[in-house]
Amino acid sequence: MSRTILFALALAVLTTPPAFSAETAAPANSAPNSPGTATRTAPTVKTNPFFAPSTLPFGLPPFDLIGNDDYGPAYQEGMRIRLQEMQAIGDNPAAPSFQNTVEAMERSGRLLARVSSVFGNLTGANTNPAMEALDLLLAPQLAAHSDAVMLDANLFQRVQSVYDRRNDSALDAESVRLVERYRTDFVRAGATLSDGDKAKLKIMNAEIASLSATFSQNVLKEINASAVVVDNRAELDGLSPAEITAASDAATARGLPGKFVIALINTTDQPPEAVLTNRALRQRLHDVSVARGIHGGAFDNRGVIQKLVTLRAQRAALLGYPSHAAYMLEDQTARTTDVVNKLLADLAEPAVANARREAAAMQAVVDAEKGGFTVAAHDWAYYTEKVRKQRYDFDGGQLKPYLEFDSVLKNGVFFAAGKLYGLQFTERRDLPVYHPDVRVFDVSDADGKPLALFLLDPYARSNKRGGAWMNAYVSQSTLLDNRPVVANHLNIPKPVAGAPTLLSFDEVTTMFHEFGHALHGMFSNVTYPRFSGTNVPRDFVEYPSQVNEMWLVWPEVLSNYARHHQTGAPMPQALLDKVLATRTFNQGFATTHYLAAAVLDQRWHQIGANSVQADVAGFEAKVLKEAGLDFAPVPPRYRSAYFSHVFSSGYSAGYYSYIWSEVLDADTVEWFKKNGGLSRKNGDWFRQEVLSRGGSVDAIGAFTRFRGQAPEIAPLLARRGLTAPAAK
């Protein structure tokens, strides 16, 4: 998860394409003028690398030529040119037509699109202080630029004219859908408001954009500032020698030789909690994690949340909606808050019931060990592994020697894509990248023809936001003759020099998931950039990526990549059987953990324009209690103050989309199993009906054509172990 549209810009050409699903100084391994390395003179038309299309394969950005001082001038010139183009469209004396209005708008803004794709992506993946300052400066300017286009009366009248005659023309289905989408975009952006209300909307949009950028930067700075310093090596018992060395190196890099630093990730739960034997350190780590953004100081996000939620609600009211959630959901496949609320409520009771059973099993272990305490949130991951080992004679650490990064990538992720779709991958070492860790692959189709470039940025950095996501540097479009350049970003801890990168099972799952998003972008086969790749409803965008997760345990795939990194021996069948047997293990926790965050997102964004929530922590507690999700050992996956998905990314009122998409995903997995699994026939059908269509067709219609029927929820309930009777 999922860098997405940052500034509520309605047209795809104005923004970085959506990114998917989940942060100040430049670190020592980043040049201060990153991604370029040289100090640059003031850019001119001749020297600014954004001013002309890239000549590199597939239009890959020339990262080695781009410096901090290129972004601002390119943005200013890009906005100027695009407004000039839009004015020419609006003032065109010829009668409005598809070609001189809608298609012309699709062709506009190429310079702005080039700089936006790079800057928007790198502020998440490889930021520095200069970029952060520019991000804050640009946020309201880009919001104003979007308003200048979307609130232009002449443009809207021309779009409306083409819309009114769309069925009387010789337009193909994708072009008709584009006209309808443009008209919807304009209306939802406020094109039908009075001049006075448009003025109010512009002020709101600028402030919302600024607040979102501030929230994002606070989260990244807080996560770096909150790293836990440990004085005594003995306290790190449970970590591997390589992890302890990495913690020592991290401390030295911070000017703390002889100490150890445990860096945080953006979720509430922190991975070391699963292995640290020192309960006090586990609690300390957890307490620091959940306190982010709410303890006062420079990075406190409570005031940002309050202003942002209020402004979003007021903007929704101005546009005629009862809440921001109602506004957002109208344009998704779920459509209404009632539908989403019911889905989350229906899952909450069985999820918490399962979580309570899981907690009871852990408590039995604590009591047998005479621990003398009640299982708390910071104990969950640690005692989950104990129960897993007790019940299945298995713990997650046994897998790591068989899950070496390159083998998972090439013999797992790429291998499955080859079997399903005939894809071939060749690593390129001759193309510029923005960081030495980034890898580039040529992707060829089954017939050998070039299809895409794939960039992979695997390791965590202090100047990289948390989570994992996909985005595009170039989006496919036959209108513009663009072929895709897509990227996956992960946050795997980088091992010490010379050591292999050994993954957890969750990290392998994430690799397959994010590559599912990449396939969605690479297989795009649409005419218009507005519909390219992952430009689909937010609650549909996770569906293809979740489907791709099924292949990580498919026997033919797993046996190909799960080999011991030293001996090459395959993962023993007995260990594999245990992996498969534990697929529903701890799903009460996983589902409750997720649902709590999804419910918080909905409640924050279902607030009316006149409601003010002054107490963030109090609001959270009230919401979780009312939803039946106030089970202390299982806190939300994200607390509000570091919930970047919904306060600084594109998932506001949309975090439910993971479980919504999983209904489609689980049903699709059953289809693959019944139809022969990993085969070119199945892969080509999925590619044809879903992955290649982008937003050019109705999302649920695409699913139904692929599946042959409407989605069913039963496979999801079985997958998550939610079919057992609730505990009494």
Which residues are part of the catalytic machinery?
Answer: 514
Query: Residue 390, Cβ neighbours under 10 Å: how many?
Result: 15
CA dist 378 to 19, 274, 374, Å?
Answer: 31, 9, 11
Give the separation between CA 55 and CA 470, rounded to whole angstroms.
23
DSSP class of residue 260 equals E
* CA atoms within 13 Å, Cβ hemisphere of 40: 21
Question: In 10 A of CB 286, how many CB atoms?
Answer: 21
User: How does strand 450-459 pair with strand 424-428?
Assistant: unpaired
Question: Do the Cβ atoms of 21 and 657 come closer than 8 Å?
Answer: no
Alpha-carbon gap, residue 266 to 639, rounded angstroms = 10
Q: What amino acid is encoded at 558 in this protein? A: L
DSSP 488: E
Residues near 312 by beta carbon (within 8 Å), at least 6 away in sequence = 208, 324, 605, 652
* Distance of alpha carbon 305 from alpha carbon 616, whole angstroms: 8
Q: Residue 115 is encoded by which pair of tokens?
A: 């700089």
Strands 485-492 and 450-459 turn out to be parallel
- 3-state SS, one letter per residue, for 141-184: HHHHHHHHHHCCHHHHHHHHHHHHCHHHCCCCHHHHHHHHHHHH
Q: What secondary structure does DSSP assign to 524-578, as a single string?
A: ---SSGGG-TT-S-HHHHHHHHHHHGGGGG-HHHHHHH-B-TTT-PBPPHHHHHH
455 φ, ψ (degrees, to nearest 5): -105, 140
Q: What whole-number distance in Å separates Cα of residue 530 and Cα of residue 694?
A: 9
Q: CA-CA distance, 109 to 540, in Å (whole number)?
A: 27
The answer to whether 464 and 511 have CB atoms below 8 angstroms apart is no
Give the Cβ contact number of residue 342 at 10 Å: 12
Q: Rounded to whole angstroms, how far apart are CA atoms 589 and 632?
A: 11
Cα four-point dihedral sign 548, 550, 556, 560: positive
Residue type for 266, please? N
What is the DSSP-derived secondary structure letter of residue 56? S
Four-residue CA torsion sign, 297, 300, 304, 309: negative
Cα 1 to Cα 701: distance, rounded to the nearest angstrom: 24
Question: Virtual CA dihedral for 280, 284, 287, 289, nearest 10 degrees?
Answer: -140
